[in-house]
Amino acid sequence: MKRVKSMTLVSLVALAILVPLSAHAEEGGSGHYMPGGAASFIDALPGKPGLAIANYFSFYDASASVSRQLPFGGLITAGIDATAYADTVMALYQTPLKLLGGYYAVAVAIPYVWIKAKGEVQLTGPRGVTITSTVRDTANGIGDIMLYPFMLGWTGLNGDLKYDARLGIYAPTGDYDTGKLANLGKNYWTFEPAVSLSYISSKIGLEMTAFAGMDFNTKNHKTDYRSGSQFHLDFTVAEHLPIFGGIIGVGANGFYYQQITGDSGSGALLGNFKGRTLGIGPVLSYATKIWKKDLVAEVKWLPELEVKKRLKGDYIWFKLGMVF
């Protein structure tokens, strides 16, 4: 495993990109957090001053039975089928500035989102009569931009260990309309303090990485709905081996999400509506050097295994990045 030690494995900032129909328990069936967005060594800070550029592509396909009601765009829905694609460009700059012994970094992530959704929607007809209608919606465009104004990263154990603290902010830049199943944005701010710990042994190539965060949401004033706070944990265990002129990693990525406070506001017609999800799936990565720059790619499949008050589906991620 000397090859692992001699080669710098690219580390890129976490990118919990927005896919509005990823469907946790909050309003719109989702929060800003998305499983797998930050889970492995690729999502850790680079560990040295420099610029990192990445492109993250995600796919999510999910559904819910007609007996499972979910709030979307001020509507009560059931039997939702949703498919969402997101392609996100991220730029990270780790500065030479040190605070408390760690390098200070900043980042921004801009997603472009495609969504289609179909479901049964409860509508109020003449004289207050409630009717159920099948609604189909599509949307595409810029989603909610994520900002990292503060990131602080440290290294240890001869570079094998990396850990950091960060603050992510999701800005409501995506279009949002009440009465729609497919919205590009959430129409509220989310503040996400998070920490990470990533270890890759330079001797045996074993990786153990974990990211944990809390999401705190402001109110959606168009629907008078405030989504509750959520805890989420992503982790990866993998083995890395030298092959094909680089380093290949094979392992498993898992996630756990739990909404810890209830939804509130006059728009929260289904009550506090706490939800959770967990899942696990395979992850494959490859790191090498091109033009003396670190290049990394990762692909993963993450099926949801247990859900509560949300859609159930599968996430697919493809990540590609380079450190300059």
What confidence score (pLDDT) does residue 49 get? 92
Question: CA nearest 35: which of 228, 309, 304?
Answer: 304
Q: What are the extents of the domains in the chain? A: 2-323
Per the DSSP assignment, residues forming a β-bridge with 264 are 226
Residue-level pLDDT at 159 = 86
The pLDDT score that the predictor gives to residue 206 is 97
Q: Which residue has the tokens 């395979």?
A: 282
For residue 212, which of 145, 165, 280, 155 has the smallest C-alpha distance?
Answer: 165
pLDDT of res. 183: 86
Tell me what pLDDT residue 125 has: 62
From first to last of its 324 residues, what are the pLDDT tens digits of the chain? 444 444 333 333 333 323 333 333 455 556 899 888 899 999 999 888 999 999 999 999 988 777 667 766 667 777 778 899 999 999 999 999 999 999 999 999 999 999 998 887 766 666 666 777 788 889 999 999 999 999 999 999 988 999 999 999 999 999 998 878 888 999 999 999 999 999 999 999 999 999 999 999 999 998 888 989 999 999 999 999 998 889 999 999 999 999 998 888 877 777 676 778 999 999 999 999 988 888 999 999 999 998 887 778 999 999 999 988
Closest CA to 73 of 168, 170, 139: 139
In 35-129, where do the E strands start and end? 50-63, 69-72, 75-99, 102-124
Report residue 225 as tokens.
Answer: 């709905």
CATH number belonging to the domain at 2-323, selected among 3.20.10.10, 3.20.20.150, 2.40.160.40, 3.30.1490.20: 2.40.160.40
The token pair at 267 is: 């728009």
* Cα dist from 78 to 66, 83, 85, 282, whole Å: 5, 15, 22, 31
> Is the alpha carbon torsion for 30, 191, 193, 105 positive or negative?
positive
Of 90, 188, 175, 88, the C-alpha closest to 140 is: 175
Tokens linked to 315: 């996430």
Q: Is the dihedral of CA 142, 140, 87, 284 positive or negative?
A: positive
* pLDDT at residue 26, rounded to an integer: 53
- State how far the Cα of 34 lies from the Cα of 22, in Å rounded to an integer: 7
What is the amino acid identity at position 141? G
